[in-house]
Structure 1
Amino acid sequence: MIKIAFASKDGINVNEHFGWCEKFYIYGVDQEHYELIKEVDSSQKHEAEVDKLEYKIESIDNSDIVYVTQIGPKAANMVKYAGTYPMKASNEDEKIEDVLKSMQKLMDNPPLWLKRILLK
């Protein structure tokens, strides 16, 4: 099972920027099932950008993937360095449930980036 953290304002759509996200929805997903593991409050404010980004990375709780509408290059590098794969939604109306279902389909014949995550 892999863990995906979604940046969302409503728990339904992927509609939040990584650095501004006040709540992450963390799901576990495998080929047959997906389930909400937990909601994580990430609303704490930090003055320094690096402190803010480190806090956001801690908030996603070692997820394998973080799914957002936007993520800056510095944040994306820090996320990758922490062992999480950053992904951007195609639009702000993209539903978390649709992403989970398409991830399940990808697991049947995973692309290289997903294969690396599955083999962790």
Structure 2
Amino acid sequence: MKVAFASTDKTHIDEHFGQAEHFYIWDVGPESAEFSGVVQVKADADALGHSDDKIEARAAALNDCALVYVAEIGGPAAARLVAKKIHPVKSKDREAISVVVEKLQDVLRSSPPPWLRKAMLKGERPAI
């Protein structure tokens, strides 16, 4: 599954969803994980001014992702992501992306909670 990380330094989850300019994308599975690219949110999206437009631009850019890890996210933004089948996860204490990827793999190998099993199937379900 594709997982996005909001980061200012490419290494730590340290950015607020609404302020992130870059999301680092990883393909994460139980047995393998690899960096797959960067999604850059264009400055034009921020120039739109309205926060709903910023949220929509970021959500559209992350459409292929099942999870997005952020330092902070507001309630309305989180609700919009969930409606698009993207599960936001707040990361504590500026965690390293590599550590979170390893923890996620451990959970995937054992018994993922229902919300994570659902997120894992995101790419396999036909769009309605």
Q: Give the TM-score taking structure 2 as reference length.
A: 0.88
Gap regions ≥5 residues in structure 1: none
Q: SS in structure 2 opposite 1:5?
A: strand
Which of structure 1's runs of 4+ aligned residues deviate more than 6 A? none
| 1:52 matched residue in structure 2 | 54
CA distance in 2, matches of 1:53, 1:118: 23
- Which residue matches 2:119? 117
Q: What runs of 5+ residues in structure 2 fail to find an aligned partner?
A: 123-128
Higher helix share goes to which structure?
Answer: 2
State the AA in 2 paired with 1:32. Answer: E
Q: How far apart are 1:43 and its partner, in Å?
A: 4.0
CA distance in 1, matches of 2:120, 2:59: 20
Q: TM-score, normalised by structure 1?
A: 0.93
Partner SS for 1:80: helix
Q: Is residue 102 of structure 1 aligned with residue 103 of structure 2? A: yes
> Which residue of 1 is the match for residue 18 of structure 2?
19
Q: Distance in 1 between matches of 2:97 and 2:84?
A: 23
How many residue pairs align between the two structures? 118
1:68·1:87 contact (CA, 8 Å) conserved in 2?
A: yes
Deviation at 1:62, TM superposition (A): 2.1
Q: Which amino acid aligns with 2:15?
A: E
3-state DSSP of counterpart to 2:5: strand
Q: Distance in 1 between matches of 2:60 and 2:121?
A: 22
- Give the superposition deviation at 1:117: 1.6
- 2:63–2:86 Cα contact (<8 Å) kept: no
* CA deviation profile, 1:46-85 (whole Å, cap 9, x unmatched): 2111111100111223200010000000000000011100
Aligned residues of 1:28 and 1:35 also touching (Cα < 8 A): yes
Report what 2:78 is aligned to: 76
Root-mean-square deviation (CA, aligned residues, Å) is 1.1
Contact 1:62–1:83 (CA under 8 A) maintained in structure 2: no
